[in-house]
Each structure stands twice: as C-alpha cells, then as structure tokens.
Amino acid sequence: MANVVQIAVPKSNSSIAVPTGLFIDNEFVPSVDSKETIKVFNPATESVLCEITAASEKDIDVAVASSRKAFRTTWGKNVTGVERSRLINKLADLIERDAQTLAELESLNNGKPVKVARDFDIGDSVGCLRYYAGWADKITGESIEIDRKTKVAITHPEPIGVCGQIIPWNYPIQMWAWKVAPALAVGCTIVMKPSEITPLTALKLSELVKEAGFPPGVLNTVPSLGSVGGAALSLHKDVDKVAFTGSTITGRKIMEAAAKSNLKKVSLELGGKSPHIVFESADIDQAANWAALGILYNTGQDCTAGSRLYVQDTIYDKFLAVLAGKAKELIIGDGFDEKSGGGPVVSKGQYDRVWNYIEAGKKAGARVVCGGEKRSTPGYYVDATIFADITADMKIVQEEIFGPVLSVGKFHTEDEAIALANDTTYGLAAGLHSTDAAQCHRVSEALEAGTIWINQYNLLYNNVPFGGKKQSGIGRELGRNALDEYISVKAVHWNYGEKLDWPL
C-alpha cells in the first residue's frame, strides 16, 4: 500500500499529504508481520478518507524497543532540560505554522468545524506544549536535612521511562498534546497509540516531531485497534507506564493488564456524567449559555460534558424555555461550512450508540423538549436533544451518552441538589451557577468531582490541573501536577560522616 495518500480539502483545490505507515525511529514503515489496515472515515459524508497501516502486537514490540533504546541513549537522563525545552518549543512553533492544514485534517476525520479545530483545539495545544516546554528545565528535587552534620538526603525527580499513551477520538490533536508535552518535558519516551477512528492528525504530527529534531524513538506512533495495540501496551513488560484517556470500561481493562503484567504505573482519564446545577440566584441567561456550551460543545463528545442539569424549582420552567431556545440556535453541520458551530458525531458506532440512548430516554418516559429526531440526509448528525421530567433510575441519567443529549431535573433545596449531583459513580467535573458566594463555596466543597466550575463551564487552562475523582480517573493532567505522572522520585541518602559500629 502507498506510504502517503493525498486527501482532498473540500471547497479548495488543495490536498493534504498524509503518511499512512507506522512512525517508528523517525521513519514511516510498514508492519513487520501484518497486512491489516484500518479504514478511516469522514463522519460528515460517511465516506472513506483512506486506509492506514494497523500495528500488530509485534509492531508494538518494535516500537517499545525503539523507545527503550532512545531512553537509554539519546533521551532520558542523556538530554538536558534546556534541550528538551528547546525541542518542545520548536514542535509548538511547527504546529502553529501548520495550524490551518492540521485543522482541516482534524475536521475531515473528526467532524468538528475547521475554525474550532484551528482556534481552540490547536491554539490550546500549542499553548500546552509551550507551557510544558517552560517546565522542562525546572523539575527540581529537594535537599532534605537529616542531622546537619554527617548526612544529607537529596531527591532526584527521574523520568519514569518508556510510556505507552493511548488517546481518544474526541479531541485528537489536543489529547495528543496533553499527553506528549509533560512526558517529553520530564524526559520520558513515548509509544503513542492514537484512536483507530481518528489517527490521521497523529500521523501528521509525527512528521513535525521529526522536523523539530527529536531523536529517533523518542516518540513512536502506532495506530491500531484498542484490542491489539492498546492491550499490547498495557501488558508489555518493558513499558514503564501507561496513560489512557477513554471510557471507564476500557480504563478498567488497562489497569487490570498493568497489574497482571509488570505493575506499570497507570494514569487514567475516563468518563463522566457531570452535574450542572443552576440555583435561583443565578443569572438565567448566562447560566443557559454555559449550560448549552456544557452539553453541546464538541457535539457533546466531551468527558466533562454537563450532561445532567439540575435547576432549582423556582426557576425551572423559565430556565428550560431559555435553554431550549439556546440549543436551537447552534448550527450543527459540515465542518467546512463557516456557519457550523458543531459537527457530526465521530462515527457510525457512536451515532448508533447515541441514538440508542435517545430511544431509551423516550421509552423510559422522559419528555423531549427539543431534538430527538434523526435527519434524513447523510452524515452522522445528532441534533441537540433535551429530556425533561427525568427520574434517577433512567439509563439516560445514569450512563455516559457522549452526545448532545441533556437530561434536566428539578430540585428544591441545596442539599437535594448536592445529593442528586453526587449520586453517580463518576466524578470528573461539575458546574454550579449562583450569585451567593457562601453557597458557591459550600456547594463546590461538597461536590465530588475533580473540576468544579462556578458560574461557567467547560473552560480549561493549560496551567490548572484536571482529572477525575471516583471512577472518572486516576491522576491529573495539565498544570504542574501532570509532571508528577511522569516522574519517579529517587531518594539518595548521602553519608559523609557517620561511621557504623558493629556488631549492633
């Protein structure tokens, strides 16, 4: 099969050259033992964009061996923080240079609007790389006094080693940046398995990794099915750490595999069913804007989606009406259409899943406030769907839908809101709207989630930590905290004066 395919850019005469091989040791190569390929689709047209090489278990071995070699020779402790900083900054510059092309490719494969991919996904990703480039030469240990006379203890924050990173399809470039940046800043090497649904931008970014000047093997890219590549990385005896973002169900498998193999370190960023609470003192119009953003951004395909909305009974009817109006204003359409604020869901599989939930919601007796009807035209489109009159036992209230489907409930007291919000095995995020400062503090303290948004939703920053409580995850991404996921602390006890008496 061809090593590079040309993918046509809609509404233009240009095309994007995408390498289709596995990226190992800074080269695109075929599989060592398999002819399997992965078909990559355009969710707006339902057509095939191209086929790429699918990595086999043996390919994963090759990739891991390459990353191990790099870690031992040209990376890890063999490269200074200043040099790592320089390379990561260079990579950021190159991504910025190619932002338009990458945005177009992202839109073709994932469906999100080009302008959103360019200005938000890629803009934030460039910022993320630059943020961690700044940390690379600032990863300090401590010197700890023992007795001030004969000994000193120092800690060395060492890179963990070879890291398997498994990323999802909802923000392909941005999830790539969140993983790659802190790992490289600390000095780890990476075997990256992008989602088999959206592998194209990861392959294109691999070209930039080489162009930036990273030594071969520092970052290898091995698109493959989760059951092949993901499993192989999780079970691999020579992978020191696996970082996974995806569903809670898969997260369990990864943690099991890590435990069964070599007890590799595990960090997980999993699903959510995040509650969004609107108290009566809230600015209704603003809260409705943020609530719409919370469930419709990225067409609801966001682990932090505010998918359960609880509105205080005194403003419930009014708020619901305003919110339905907001939902209808968002244009969901083709990513290359300037008017589109959202795109299709990413695949046939997701399309079927989301519609199954919508049908389940109707069957369970929830009231459809807006949406809930399939389009007749091509493309995996799901329009904004709001269910009201929900009960806690409904599937649409308990399970993560990962689409633009919102369940709206009512509460009377603050304590009731908190109880409803926390009644979930997830704990990724939560939002609340209130102009009562004490209430904001009380409620944010009580909510069991890793990120609490007060009078806003969805907005993350590269320098603020992010991650889940309960079954939404283990560990934190972003901020200084992400570095800890890739650091292994070595304590050195230096005796320069104590003489040991023997026998005891």
Partner 1 sequence: MSTTEFTHEFNTPGYKGKVSFPTGIFIDGKFSAGGDGTTIDVINPTNGKVITKIAEGTTADIDRAVKAAKRAYHESWGLSVPGAERGKLLSRLADLMDEHFDELAALEALDNGKTYSWAKAADLPLSVGTIRYYAGWADKIHGQVIETSEDKLAYTRHEPFGVVGQIIPWNFPLMMMSWKLGPALATGNAIVLKPSEFTPLTALRMCSLINEAGFPPGTVNVVVGYGHTVGAAISEHMLIDKVAFTGSTLVGRKVMEAAAKTNLKNVTLELGGKSPNIVFDDAELEGAVNWSIHGIFWNHGQACCAGSRIFVQSGIYDKFLKAFTEKAQSLKLGDPFHTDSYQGPQVSQIQYDRIMDFIDSGKREGAKVHIGGERHGDEGYWIQPTIFTDTKPDMRIVREEIFGPVGVVIKFEDEADVLRQANDTLYGLAAAVFTKDITRGIQFAHKLEAGTAWINCVNQLHPNVPFGGYKQSGVGRELGEYALNNYTNVKAVHVNLGHTI
Q: Which residues contact 275 (CB under 8 A, 6 or more apart)?
A: 306, 308, 309, 310, 420, 421, 422, 424, 430, 431, 447, 449
Measure the CA–CA gap between 311 and 421, rounded to whole angstroms: 11
Q: Say which of 163, 188, 303, 370 is annotated catalytic.
A: 303
- The footprint of partner 1 (CB under 8 A) covers 81-82, 85, 89, 127, 130-131, 133-138, 140, 148, 152, 437-438, 441-442, 462-463, 480, 494, 496-497
Mapping DSSP to helix (H, G, I), strand (E, B) and coil, where does residue 119 land?
A: helix
CB-nearer residue toward partner 1: 15 or 150: 150
Minimum CB distance to partner 1 smaller for 291 or for 478: 478
Task: Select 131 or 290, whichever has its Cβ closest to partner 1.
Answer: 131
* CA-to-CA separations, 378 to 45, 246, 261, in angstroms, rounded: 6, 27, 45
Containing H/E element for 440? helix 437-446
Q: How many CA atoms lie within 13 A of 282 on its CB side?
A: 30
- How far apart are the C-alpha atoms of 312 and 281, rounded to whole Å? 9
Q: Give the SS3 label for residue 468.
A: coil
CB 293 within 8 A of CB 116: no
Nearer to partner 1 by Cβ, of 145 and 501: the residue is 145
Q: Shortest gap between Cβ of 99 and partner 1 (angstroms)?
A: 16
**Shortest separation between residue 206's beta carbon and partner 1, angstroms:** 25
Burial 95-121 (b: 16+ CB within 10 A, else e): bbebbebbbbbbbbbbbbbbebbbebb
Choose, from 269, 400, 414, 485, the residue flagged as catalytic.
Answer: 269
Q: In whole angstroms, how close is the CB of 140 to partner 1 at the nearest point?
A: 7
Tokens at residue 179, please?
């993983």
Instruction: For 133-156, give the DSSP string.
Output: HHHTT-----EEESSSSSEEEEEE
Query: Which CB atom, from 21 or from 187, has the smaller least distance to partner 1?
Result: 187
SS in 3 state form for 227-239? HHHHHHHHHCCCC
The total number of residues written for the chain in this structure:
504
Give the span between the Cα atoms of 250 and 268, in whole angstroms: 10
Question: Under DSSP, is residue 371 helix (H, G, I), strand (E, B) or coil?
Answer: coil
Query: What is the Cα 121 distance to its own chain's centre?
Result: 11
Min dist CB 123 to partner 1, Å, is 11
d(CA 55, CA 221): 9
Query: Which residue's CB is nearer to partner 1, number 362 or number 442?
Result: 442
131 vs 453, beta carbon nearer partner 1: 131
CA distance 383 to 374: 8
Nearer to partner 1, 95 or 396 (CB): 95
Minimum gap (Å) between residue 284 Cβ and partner 1: 25
Give least dist CB 446 to partner 1, A: 12
Q: How far is the CB of 21 from partner 1 (least distance, A)?
A: 34
Is 269 one of the annotated active-site residues of the chain?
yes
The nearest distance, CB 136 to partner 1, in angstroms, is: 8
Q: Determine the straight-line distance between the first and last CA of the chain, rounded to whole angstroms.
A: 71
Would you please indicate which residues are annotated as catalytic (active-site) residues?
A: 269, 303
